[in-house]
Amino acid sequence: MASRLSALKAWAKALKRDVVVLWLAARDPRVPWYAKALAGAVAAYALSPIDLIPDFIPVLGYLDDLLIVPAGIFLAVRLIPPDVLAELRQRAEQQGSRPRSLVAMGVIVAIWLVAGAMICWAAWRRFG
């Protein structure tokens, strides 16, 4: 049981580090454009202070944290050249703090506002 907990903690630490790696990779000129695009999107979402699906929604709230973000990290890391990835992992280890993505937060807030407006408009048309 203790070894499973240790392995889970190590996996979580590696995921946190790889989010910073993706943040760095999105700005590195040696990374191909498609890897930059995916790395930037995954890092921005993972570093956003607001989730697209709030955690208080049963099951779905944690689905993005448990499946979508790790899958995005896995795919993006596979697209980064191995030598660049090793260097970026070293830089991420040396970097003390995690960046925050205020742009992603703005996009998520905009998505919620548009969805809310569409629901209000549909309700107004239906019950109006």
Q: Write down the pLDDT at residue 43.
A: 87
- CA within 13 Å, CB half, 9: 6
Q: Average of pLDDT values for 82-111?
A: 84
Mean pLDDT for all residues in the chain? 86
Q: What is the predicted pLDDT for the residue at 97?
A: 67
Cβ atoms of 92 and 24 closer than 8 Å: yes
93 within 8 A of 17, measured Cβ to Cβ:
yes
pLDDT in tens, 114-126: 988 999 999 999 8
Please check the confidence at residue 128 and state whether its pLDDT lies above 90.
no
**Number of residues assigned to the chain:** 128
Q: Is the pTM for the entire model greater than 0.85?
A: no
C-beta atoms surrounding 14 within 10 Å: 14
The total domain count for the chain is 1
pLDDT one-digit tens code per residue, 25-49: 999 999 999 999 999 988 888 887 7
Residues 48, 5, 62, 50, Cα dihedral to 10°: -20
Enclosing domain of residue 86: 2-127
Q: Of the spans 53-57, 78-82, 110-114, which averages the highest pLDDT?
A: 78-82
